Amino acid sequence: MTRPILIVENLKTFFDTPEGLVKAVDDVSFDLCQNEVLGIVGETGSGKSVTVRSINGLIHKPGKIAGGKILFETKEFPERQKNGYLDLTTLRGDEYTKIRGKQISIIFQDPMTSLNSMYTIADQMIETIRFHQKVDEKQALEIAVAMLAKVGISNPKERIFAYPFELSGGQRQRVIIAICISCNPDILIADEPTTALDVTVQAQILELMKDLQTEFQSGVIFITHDLAVISEMADKVMVMYGGMAMEYAPVMTVYEEPRHPYTHALLNCIPRIDKKQARLDPIPGQPPMMLNAPALCPFLPRCPNKVERCAKEMPVPVEIDENHFLRCFNPVSRSVIQNGAL
């Protein structure tokens, strides 16, 4: 078995708001190897973005990492390491800049707001490259142009002096990707990178990301609410709901043998482009209120499989098969899955 480059253990990120405590991420564990794509899928407020922001040290007040470890394999801060891993939760804000952008970069959802509209693409790329690498301005520009060519911007030598507003949404997202890979990071985090894009442009960006991932062999954490996108990109999938990882398994298992009632219901309620459906089976009720949530399974009020035990205690993640983790007292039985519409 290959050694993971990132191990997240029982991560808890809480927001202490005036209205009450929000457990945005509660007891989430996963790991990521080199050349592996982890997909995190969940609905609005399920904690998927906060999870990766915690990894990247982007949690600000009133939020804080309330527990758990984020172990990252790095050469920085050797004196603080254990077994070659550095616990990122121990880093101070300014120390994080040695990791963030260089070894872990993040692509955000909206390419218009993540680029500064007052500076040219060249300014923004050179700034990042010179911050992390010992190169002069001319070399940095060369690297930047090469990166733009790599992400499929035509005529990069001229386009690099464009301002963000002169580019289309798809091109802007390509520029962001170029900035993110310019320091050859070990981990690339993509937080809904194609949600703001049209479907044909989305297809271009997804294919580009697959190509780059094969080339750079980096680890990728891909976040989306779109089950179709994740099925295409990911090697393994973590399904989040109400701040918790409900099911965590290889991609084939999640789509063909989803044992958690939430995953199962979610796959049954999406319309499919590739087949005719007579009806959709919606999940009744509303997504959970995260404010002062009870210490019970967050899916309980909407769950068709609930048992008495669910109202008393919180289930813990159990490995029911190899690499198939589940947080549920009463998983969907195998016979139901085989007879279902899936």
Partner 1 sequence: MMPAMTQKQLKKIPKANTEPLLVVQNLKKFFPIRSGFLIERTRGYVKAVDDITFTVEKNHTMGLVGESGCGKTTAGRTVIRLIDVTDGTVKVEGTDIAFLKERRLKEYRRKMQIVFQDPMSSLNPRMTVGEMLSEPLYFHGLARTKQQANQIVKDLLTSVGLKSHHMDRYPHQFSGGQRQRVAIARAVSVHPSLIVLDEPTSALDVSVQAQIINLLKKIQADLGAGFLFISHDLSLVRFISDHAGIMYLGKIVEQGNTDEIFEHPQHPYSQALLAAAPIPDPRKKRDRKNLLGGNVPSPIHRPSGCFFRTRCKYAMKVCEEVYPEYKEITPDHKVACHLYLK
As measured in angstroms, the least distance from the Cβ of 269 to partner 1 is 4
Burial of residue 199 (number of CB atoms within 10 Å: 0-12, 13-18, 19+): exposed
Tokens 């085989």, residue located: 338
As measured in angstroms, the least distance from the Cβ of 192 to partner 1 is 13
**Residue span binding partner 1 (CB under 8 A) among the ranges 93-101, 136-144, 167-175, 319-327:** 167-175
The token pair at 328 is: 């549920």
Contact pattern for partner 1 over residues 289 through 328, marking x by CB under 8 A: -------------x--------------------------
- Give the dihedral of Cα atoms 320, 322, 324, 327; nearest 10 deg: 30
As measured in angstroms, the least distance from the Cβ of 266 to partner 1 is 6
Nearer to partner 1, 5 or 265 (CB): 265
Question: Which residues partner with 37 through β-bridges?
Answer: 220
- List the one residue from 216, 255, 306, 314 that touches partner 1 (CB under 8 A): 255
How many positions of this chain bind partner 1 (CB under 8 A)? 44
State how far the Cα of 231 lies from the Cα of 214, in Å rounded to an integer: 17
Nearer to partner 1, 2 or 200 (CB): 200
Residues 195-234 that bind partner 1 (CB under 8 A): 198-204, 206-207, 225-229, 231-232
- List the one residue from 266, 290, 297, 310 that touches partner 1 (CB under 8 A): 266
Nearer to partner 1, 102 or 259 (CB): 259
As measured in angstroms, the least distance from the Cβ of 72 to partner 1 is 28
Q: Give contact residues for partner 1 (rule: CB under 8 A).
A: 43-44, 168, 170-171, 198-204, 206-207, 225-229, 231-232, 251-252, 255, 265-267, 269-274, 276-277, 279-284, 286-287, 302
